[in-house]
Structure 1
Amino acid sequence: MTEQGEDHRSGQQDGARARTLRRVLWGAGIAVAATAAMVAVTLPRGASAHSDTTAGATPASSTGQSGTGGNAVTENDAPQGTQTGIGPLTKAEVDRARTIATTALQHGTPRGLRTAEGAQGAEYLDTDLVDTPDATSDAPRRVEVLFYDYGHDQLVKQTVNLATGTVEHTDTATGVQPPPSNDETRQAAALLIKDPLGKGLRTDFKAATKGQDLTSPDQLRLRGLSFNTGEQSAPAGLDKCGRNRCVRLFTQAKNGPWIDTTDYVIDLSDHTVGRIH
């Protein structure tokens, strides 16, 4: 199988795990979520560090979806054509649901919603069919669209009825941290690259690429993990993670080795970088 094929399969598997974990987190609440989300995550095969500024992998709060730099694999690699009942969402349905949900957020919620970059609105995370096991083939198609509002540090879920083109419910939750989107993963990498704590990553990348300077996430293949101090211990400087949106990273030089950055936690809410060990 080609590398592209492996990336595609990896993206689908990561997406399925992310959706399952997201439902557990949302349905169980913060207290129970900590137990449900204690999944040990190890470095991808072949991962290594080239300098003593990076350390070995440690347990992470939850597996995230994959990002691959300029060749991103989304967890919504949807089939084409018309779908009914509980059939997989099509790309057209995903796009339509996202548009409906975004429009509702813009017109029906208080001001102050912010994306990770600070723009007005909320950060889009994911779209998935509402899990209704007893749905029939002629049942209305309902879709959950997830956003993260950095203005209030809360998760926003819009339930969209595709038959009527309306948002039926809007729910919010704090302290619930699903895996980061590809865009959030990329933004976390950009912050780490620029931060003084990113020196080890920059040094290792330069060694791995025979002298190239690391200046952009586009030079890396990335995977993101959410980080929540309610689920694992961390230094005092990271005690806001969980209330804030925090991310850990697996990084790999494109066409090169993995570089271990799992000790570093990027707070996307505060735009700061901390270290676990």
Structure 2
Amino acid sequence: MMLPGILYYIIYHYIPMGGLLIAFKKYNLVKGIWGSEWAGLDNFRTVFTSPDFPDLIRNTLIISVYRIAFNMLPDVLLALILNEIRVQWFKRAIQTVTYGPYFLSWIIVYGLVFSFLAPDAGLISTWWRDHTGETLNLLTDKDWFRPILILTDIWKSTGYGAIIYLAALATINHELYEAAVVDGAGRWRQIWHITLPGIREVFVLLLILRIGHILDAGFEQVYIFLNARVYEVGDIIDTWVFRRGIESLDFSVAAAVGFFKSVIGFILVVSANKLAKKLGGSGIW
């Protein structure tokens, strides 16, 4: 029964790792991986000495930390609210409304945002101009680019994140709540002493996984929302790699960046897992 899954990971995850050789070669499409000239660490030097690299690292880390800090708590809060709702039809309706945006592509989400914030025709921009006489152009404002990213990501992914915590809440023994009621604990006490500890391990697990992907700041969303006026605060590693690797056909440098991200992600996951165990959690392994 495990064979199909094992074959899938071998064929599509482990065998392609041989392509990491591109990071150490001057890759040529005609010559292929094995025929291309060996470059050693030259591609990594190109990346680390690039004048854009410090800004890319800073923007990537800031956006990723914002995602971790502001996106995980709404998931927990929504799950707790849904868990307390006793009217089933209302609970299902709220779940449907909050879970629906997860299936929308970022192109559609950007279209919705653009319909509200477009400088000349957006609903909010038009209302602001009619009432203040000023032009509102948030999509090209450096101060608003990151908040818009975080807010749209919260709107899109909170419903899906809440489902994971709802599954964890379903595993909590209801006898604990009955015992708490006998002891005189109210709903807030039950949430604090039973519900939150019941989902702590799941929260730590998801936090460790997010830390491991801290250099992945959400390429699709950032690339779609990015424009020339906000490059200073919005250009991240993945968008730079896309321009360098796909648009400029410099696959070697792009592979070097991917290798660098993988190594950093591995170190962060191992470190976060050890820290979680020292703090009393079970970690991932």
Q: TM-score range by the shorter chain?
A: under 0.3
- In our comparison, the structure showing a higher alpha carbon Rg is 2
Between Structure 1 and Structure 2, the one with more strand by share is: 1
Say which structure, 1 or 2, has more relative contact order (CA 8 Å, 6+ apart): 2
Between Structure 1 and Structure 2, the one with more helix by share is: 2
